[in-house]
Amino acid sequence: MLFRDISYLDEHFELRRGSVLVEGAVIAAITDAPPSDYRGEIIDGTDRLLIPGFYNTHCHVPMTLLRGYGEGLPLQRWLNERVFPFEERLTDEDVYYGSLVGIAEMLASGCVSFTDMYDHCESIAQAVVETGIKANLSRGIVEFGGGGLYGSMRHAEAVSLIDRYHGASDNRIICEAAVHMETTTNERVVRESAEFAKSRGLGVHIHLSETKKEHDDCVNARGVTPARYFEDCGLLDSRVTAAHCVWVTDEDIEILARHHVSAAHCPSSNMKLGSGVARLPELIERGVLVSLGTDGASSNNNLNMLEELHLMSMIHRGVRRDPELLPPSETLKIATRNGALAQGRQDCGLVKVGFRADLAVLRLDTPHMMPVHDPLTDVAFSAQSSDVAMTVVDGKIVYRDGVFAGFDVRDALNHAVKSARRIADELG
């Protein structure tokens, strides 16, 4: 396809205008003038902006089924009283349809890939294959007792996922290891997970210092912070995505930077659950790769990356009383290129020749975007998911003007609603 005469963000996240040619899965050429003899699909760039697609680096996509369920509780009560009992009743079919709904929501907001930790992961992978999106998937490991990783049911499910789906669909699916969090696992599991990830060359997905209680309990019980504990266990020696990082200390930030850990910032979830506001300026200043995530739809309550981008752009300026913090070029890089790097996708996340064509096209001619003095500012502060006209993954249009390729979103919604109502009724 050819995006003809369109505004786009170049590899330095500066605004340019030209024509972008996609051949197969990659961006083949970027030129000032369109080729005169092109015979493929031509997409008119008038009043449109072409950007790298968004990378949601922390999600629990089937939790669309829990949207609005268990409101008004702090994290631990929310998990123990509402989330865990609900999740115990999920079936493969429930997770499959819940994943389809979440993926549809992400594609419609310009998201091309997500990083997920959950169970019934092969059902999530099936949904990823069918919808055309990319995903880094991991089976979350929880162990409250004294058991180890090897021989556990959860680890067996993780191995099955990895053996079947790692690198599937032309590497659209990347499988990872996962330690749920410090408070839900024992040291033996953490150390064995670190060994397993290194032996298989896998990335690792964790929750880290999401709440003050979680952070302080670890310090009181172990004498070290969660970041230091995971470092001591060897877990940070792999490529790691650490979700939240709200209560990290100065020493923790140095640990994350030293191990090239990606901190997945989840502003909506952190504020909704009353967890706090991450120290984003310090993380960035000290060289930590910061990416952007939604968390699950039960703690957000949506998977709209444009909303996360907007909140990230706003809250740190307000908290620090500094209107120059996080300019749009930086927040857009965090939501796109940084996310691709966090997922280990080196050739993704930029509008650049030779890179994968993972793209989003936004309308600039809607009332809330006009008169377009600065398109980057409009994306960061004004854009809505309804402004996404098209989402492209590996050169294939997977969403255009309300239509999804490869699956029936209405059928998925009907099934997901039935699943959610069945479990809610069972729990009373």
Q: Assess contact for 53 and 336: CB atoms under 8 A.
A: yes
Indicate if the alpha-carbon torsion angle 144, 145, 147, 152 is positive or negative.
Answer: negative
Q: Write out pLDDT tens, residues 120-135.
A: 999 999 999 999 999 9
* Dihedral of the alpha carbons of 188, 194, 197, 200, in degrees to the nearest 10: -80
Confidence (pTM): 0.96
Q: Across the strands, what pairs with 15?
A: 9
Give the Å distances, CA to CA, from 384 to 9, 10, 137, 349, 409.
18, 22, 27, 20, 20
Give the Å distances, CA to CA, from 132 to 330, 357, 389.
28, 13, 17
Q: Flag whether pLDDT at 314 surpasses 90.
A: yes
- Percent of the chain, pLDDT > 70? 100
Q: Flag whether pLDDT at 79 surpasses 90.
A: no
Mean pLDDT of 85-91: 95
Q: What is the pLDDT of residue 71?
A: 87
Q: What is the pLDDT of residue 75?
A: 80
